[in-house]
Chain A
């Protein structure tokens, strides 16, 4: 939400996040190569680099994939989401190091172009144990490159959030390709069961978290609201909404965040214009609804960002009747001012 262009809007949290990630990655690689050289004297330096970078990328991809559902299930994980795109870029860079060293080691000494050799040296597509697993890794790396290259807000803004989100769902294809790459590659020659168990545990963790979070989201989506009078629907009780927070309900197939603040009720779209973040899981800070993902802000009465910012979300007409919040299912145009319903002692809005 910047009115003045900056390639990256650095702040203290982003710097701390990146320093911790880079330190952890460097430590992991140093330990992997150091211990690997001690425990496996047959392994060459190139092999250790290939394995260190590849395993770090694979591990980091698991972390990236777990952050989303963890945040859906428990808001304490939200700080991890803040700079997740940087984790994705680091994952790609580690994968690129792995790929480049692997191509140099295994495909650069023959007559063929290394890339041609990578794509044609093994065509046993019908054999599971001899499957050309390197092609799977190469395809996954291409997807990770595409995602890293479009991770900046410039692309998010130009592609629009729905298209950008759809594009970045390719990460699941990349993950599937990498499970194939590891299972049909490394695990075929590995005699110890440890790596297979760790890979299986990672797979189960990612799948379980996403299925659990998806199931929870579906419960909210499927909850039908009872019709009230005048075309409104009965959304929730006023008391159920914590002060300066929201209740999230599904109306006409989309989610609406109903905020309570300073004795008033306002309802806006639950979808942040930045990255479709869940506004209803944010709080009202300095009079503005603040997205829990990246801090984009909106005025609850208008759905518009405070000047000089220009983002707008839809607003909804509300009423308070007998301590219940009624909501008009028809959204107002983004940025349309709607007077908040005042919470009165009698339980009827003024």
Chain B
């Protein structure tokens, strides 16, 4: 009764151990590069204000 659940659980985590780091790292790698305010010459291209949401 319980061993199939344990096996399912193990398989789920083996899959998650592959998928989630890939999703996380891809999400970080391909994210938008926001302009940095100190280097920006245009006042309209300032960095995202701290605390602002998308």
Which residues of chain A have a CB within 8 Å of any CB of chain B? 36, 39-43, 47-48, 50-51, 128-129, 162, 165-166, 169, 172, 175-176, 179-180, 183-189, 191, 196, 199-200, 203-204, 207, 210-211, 214, 217-218, 221, 250, 253-255, 270-271, 276
Contact = CB atoms under 8 A, between A and B. Distances in A.
Given A172-B12, A214-B10, A196 B28 contact: yes
Given A188-B27, A189-B34, A200-B24, A276 B53 contact: no
A276 B26 CA distance: 38
B6 A221 contact: yes
A191 B48 contact: yes
A47 B26 contact: no
Interface string B9-33: 1101110110111011011101110
A188 B3 contact: no
A189 B6 contact: no
Given A199-B24, A221-B6, A189 B13 contact: no
B21 to A, nearest CB: 7
A254 B50 CA distance: 55
Contacts, number: 113
B1 A162 contact: yes
Contacts of B16: 172, 175-176, 207
B9 A214 contact: yes
A189 B52 contact: yes
19 contacts: A42-B50, A42-B52, A47-B53, A48-B51, A128-B30, A169-B8, A188-B31, A191-B34, A191-B48, A207-B13, A207-B16, A207-B17, A211-B13, A214-B6, A217-B6, A217-B10, A218-B10, A254-B2, A255-B3
Classify chain B's interface size: 20 to 34
B40 interface: no
Contacts of B19: 176
B54 interface: yes
Contacts of A36: 51
Given A180-B27, A214-B9, 18 more contacts: A40-B51, A47-B51, A128-B26, A129-B30, A169-B5, A169-B8, A169-B12, A185-B54, A188-B27, A189-B32, A189-B54, A191-B48, A207-B13, A207-B20, A254-B3, A271-B1, A271-B2, A276-B5
Given A162-B5, A169-B8, A191-B34, A203 B20 contact: yes
A247 to B, nearest CB: 17
